[in-house]
Amino acid sequence: MRETTDEPDRLPNAPHPRETLALIGHGAQERTFLEALRSGRMHHAWLLGGPEGIGKASFAYRAARFMLAAGEPAERARAVDSLAMREADPATRRVMARSHPDLHLLRRSLKPDGKSYTSNIPVDAARRVIDRFGSSAAEGGWRVCIVDSAEDMDRPTANALLKLLEEPPPRALFLIVAHAPGRLLPTIRSRCRLLGFEPLAPHQVEEAGRIALERMEAPFDGGALSRAASLSEGSVKRALTYVEPQTLALVEAVRARLDALPQIDALALLALAEDVAGKAGERDFGVMIETVQGWLSDHLHAHAAAQPARLAPLAEVWEKLHKAAREVETYNLDRRPLVISMFHDLSSAVARSRAA
């Protein structure tokens, strides 16, 4: 599988969600979608909500292939119990090749320099989709628009999409991937049917990761994949990142330092800070921040029923970390001071949380 450079939502050399035919988990979501089709009351817009990397985009492309295949989707839904389509199906092949005329995508795009992506989905892209939905479907059937992801829409783009959601043309389907549905414009949420997705269990992540790695024809260590799955928080995307030996070692080292809090091993912390310094450490820094955020998320969820005084210190450090990491990236700052201050802030937050 060759690396694709114009898809910001793709891991290097990994199968893209549009190429992912197997869907591990999320059977209940498939049944809900199929039942809507069978009933004849198919909602025109679905908000696919849940954490990043757990299969929402794969579900969206799976549903798109089902809707765009020849014949009437509602009739096909009455004869099957899943959205699976054969790889040899003509519509499936064209969706995988990005050549189906009735599938439209809204996502961040490659900048003219060819080296980076736009920070948001361009509003012009949304306007082009509006124009296309203003004419007849190329093949006389359904038209599908996938938004991946909603968090990448700024207000002008969201407002442009809203016009389509308010007055959708016949036989139009919008599949909106959202990692945090609550942050969307209320006017968009109110026009969508929410379909919630939960993180996968570790054995499901491991199974999905194995399928992806085998499709990539990439050698991998089964034990490393199992460890990566256990650290992935239900995200196949994260597990595929963690399965590389160097990355897995970094994640395990960061988790060891986090689990030891409020105690801090100064020498180990300095070593971690050096590991993510410089140009070579840019990717590792992202992995470190993601690992810390996941660890914080685990703790906040595990103690959701606790008194606010116990949760407040962890919530505060979450917000501070998010802002600091964004500033480091935006202004290309030295990452080492952030790593050191981050762990000291975490140490203080854990201590205050336990004392509350």
In angstroms, the CA 336 to CA 261 distance is: 19
In angstroms, the CA 59 to CA 17 distance is: 8
347 in a structural domain = yes
Query: What are the start-end ranges of the E strands in the chain?
Result: 45-49, 103-106, 143-148, 172-178, 193-196
262 in a structural domain = yes
Q: What DSSP character marks residue 193?
A: E
Q: What is the pLDDT of residue 2?
A: 37
How many structural domains does the chain have?
Answer: 2
Q: What is the pLDDT of residue 1?
A: 36
11 in a structural domain = no
Looking at the structure, do residues 75 and 154 belong to the same domain, yes or no? yes
Q: What is the pLDDT of residue 4?
A: 39
66 in a structural domain = yes
Q: What is the pLDDT of residue 3?
A: 42
Tell me which residue range forms the domain holding 43. Answer: 17-196
In the chain, what's the furthest Cα-to-Cα distance? 65
**Mean pLDDT confidence for 226-255:** 94
Which CATH number do you get for residue 149?
A: 3.40.50.300
237 in a structural domain = no
Looking at the structure, do residues 176 and 268 belong to the same domain, yes or no? no
218 in a structural domain = no
Q: What is the pLDDT of residues 22-71, one digit of tens each?
A: 999 999 999 999 999 999 999 999 999 999 999 999 999 999 999 999 99
Strands 172-178 and 143-148: parallel
**Residue 6 pLDDT greater than 80, yes or no:** no
Q: What is the pLDDT of residues 186-202, one digit of tens each?
A: 999 999 999 999 999 99
Looking at the structure, do residues 250 and 138 belong to the same domain, yes or no? no
Looking at the structure, do residues 172 and 77 belong to the same domain, yes or no? yes
Q: What is the pLDDT of residues 124-153, one digit of tens each?
A: 999 999 999 999 999 999 999 999 999 999
SS3 49: strand
228 in a structural domain = no
**Residue 5 pLDDT greater than 70, yes or no:** no
Looking at the structure, do residues 266 and 165 belong to the same domain, yes or no? no
Looking at the structure, do residues 135 and 265 belong to the same domain, yes or no? no
Structure tokens at 96: 């995988």
222 CA to centre of own chain = 24
